[in-house]
Chain A
Amino acid sequence: MIGYIRLELIRTVRDGGYVIFGIASPVVMYLVLSNLALAPGDRRSGAVVTMVSMAAYGALGCAFNNGTGIGEDRSAGWLRQLRLTPLAPVHVVAGKVVTGAVGVVPSIAAVLLTGVLVNHVALSAGQWLSIVGLLWAGTVPFALLGLGNGYALTGQTAAMANIAAFLGLSIVGGLWVPTAGFPGWLRAIAEWTPSNSYAALSWDVASGAAPGARPIAILCGWLAVFGLYALYAYRRAGRTA
């Protein structure tokens, strides 16, 4: 399985979609948005809020991109080829999940480092650790949605579905522009999205509070939904592959 993870990581690093959506785009957007000061409060706290938003945005991009990869692999006959090697199917799935989880890290790190180095964001060590941990672990529901699309749809369609879900959830969830500026009806929707709940956990920590119970509950609810979807899509793909 180590060999499979190594191979998948090599492919991830050479993937233009990963570099653009996962690393370059969130860092550039962070630099632009934090200097426009769209976030509420003073410039300093704006830099913190936007840093969390863009790290969440980048992590989502990586998580969905990983799911798109599964769709491509299926179309290319790669998953069938893997079934013709001694590698166990459960190791293939586990390897893909680990690759996705590892792939998220550079994206989160790139934005947080930009926050420290360029915008001089200062947080306590405990806050940094909590934010990295929450941003990392919180990608699981999105990774499952991405994988579900990858298994349920063919290469091109899976890519489109994942980009749509990624951008839709990022925008409606208030990762680009804070929901404070949304009209009332849209804000009501935003507060139920997994992306808003996901980022809210780290926004809370960054502002010195403990993560709220409500976003945790909502994110866990979506985790269950996307988990069931991924399981269903995986089983269905297994029958047709």
Chain B
Amino acid sequence: MEIDAVSLTAVTKSFGAVRAVDGLTLAIPQGRTVALLGPNGAGKSTTIGMLLGLVPPDSGKVALFGLDPAQAVRQSLAGAMPQEGGLIPRVTVGELLTFVAGTYRAPLPLGQVLALAQMTGMDNRRVDRLSGGQAQRVRFAMALVGDPGLIVLDEPTAALDVEARRQFWSGMRTLAGRGKTILFSTHYLDEADEQADRVVVIDRGRVVADGTSAEIKKVVALTTVSLTASGEVSWLGGLPGVRRLEVRGDRVQLRSDDPDATVMALARAGAVRDLEVTPADLEDAFVALTAKETV
């Protein structure tokens, strides 16, 4: 069996009295694109810091390709884009990327990196004179220029506008297509939903859900079956699959974990009027997962 690209086992990290990561266990096989999804302060950046060897865990075990993280980085196996920083003044894009490439065993040619980061023709620009979006692309280019097997990106699109985000993900998909393992953190639900083939939801330093976005939605979020009804409607709450009933004017919304059964029962009862079935979205799932313990 191939070694996992990333493996965290019962990893814990506290900062003073705050437990940022709390017994987190996560394994990512090679070649997958995984999103680390969680609200601000969930422990995403600390987790990424530990798996890159920047932050020592208090307890637990972290390995990249079976190696100690710092050792894996030294052996050209990983490239990363931290949430912020990493750019220096008084150098050009080309000088900076050529230097970073030179530290890796088998880097990509500069032209290819510039193309992947949508920066073709910008290698003579000074790094300190770039716009925010351009700077973000240079940081992305630094993560991938060494052609490592694992690319880790902490909130890569946080500073980008819609078009820049679209271009960024097109570059990422090219990399994923080349068999790279990609781990990115985000608090944009649509990005996790569209770009990752697996979503790991973390909250308060723990994994609260792990699977494809469809699986996560299925487990925790409910499909909405809505219809127009009048008079006494409380019997609708007793139909198969219905877990919750909400009335808004003459519209009744049934939250169901088995929408097929719910709709069949409605049909048998002759209650189908203006029927609408809305699948759960990841946002519902996310809210359900991360709000559980706050009450």
The interface of chain A, by Cβ under 8 A from chain B, is: 3-4, 6-7, 10-11, 14-15, 72-73, 76-78, 80-81, 83-88, 241
Contacts and interface: CB of A to CB of B under 8 A. Distances in A.
Which one of A4, A11, A81, A84 has the greatest number of beta carbons of chain B within 10 Å? A84
Contact of B82 (A3, A14, A77): A77
A80 B54 contact: yes
B82 A11 contact: no
B80 interface: yes
Nearest to A88: B74
5 contacts: A7-B95, A10-B90, A85-B104, A86-B104, A87-B103
B142 A81 contact: yes
Contact of B80 (A10, A15, A73, A84): A84
A166 B12 CA distance: 45
A235 B96 CA distance: 27
A71 to B, nearest CB: 13
B84 to A, nearest CB: 6
Ordered nearest first, which 5 A-B pairs have the shortest CB separation? A77-B85, A81-B86, A3-B102, A14-B90, A85-B103
B88 A76 contact: yes
A15 to B, nearest CB: 6
B85 A85 contact: no
Contact of B54 (A14, A78, A83, A86): A83
A86 B103 contact: yes
Contact of A78 (B74, B79, B88, B105): B88
Contacts of A10: 90-91, 95
Given A14-B90, A15-B90, A77 B84 contact: yes
Contacts of B75: 86
Contacts of B85: 76-78, 80-81
Contact of B88 (A3, A73, A86): A73
B76 interface: yes
A88 B70 CA distance: 10
Contacts of A84: 52, 54, 73, 78-80, 82, 143
Contacts of B220: none
Given A86-B105, A88-B74, A6 B99 contact: yes
B90 A80 contact: no
B100 interface: yes
Nearest to B56: A239
Interface string B139-150: 000110010000
A76 B103 contact: no
A77 B88 CA distance: 9
B86 A86 contact: no
B87 interface: yes
A11 B89 CA distance: 8
Contacts of A81: 82, 85-86, 142
Nearest to A89: B70
Contacts of A73: 88
A6 B78 CA distance: 24
A210 B113 CA distance: 58
Given A84-B52, A86-B76, A78 B86 contact: yes
A67 to B, nearest CB: 16
A77, A81, A86 interface centre (most CB from chain B within 10 Å)? A86
A3 B96 CA distance: 10
A10 to B, nearest CB: 6
B88 A11 contact: yes
B90 A86 contact: no
A87 B99 CA distance: 10
Given A3-B103, A76-B85, A86 B91 contact: no
A4 B99 contact: yes
Contacts of A88: 74
Contacts of A72: 89
A11 B87 CA distance: 12
Contacts of A4: 99, 103
Contact of B96 (A7, A76, A86, A241): A7
A77 B81 CA distance: 11
Contacts of A11: 88-91
Contacts of B142: 81
Nearest to A69: B88
A15 B88 CA distance: 12
A84 B103 CA distance: 10
Interface in B91-127: 91, 95-96, 98-100, 102-105
A12 B144 CA distance: 27
B189 to A, nearest CB: 27
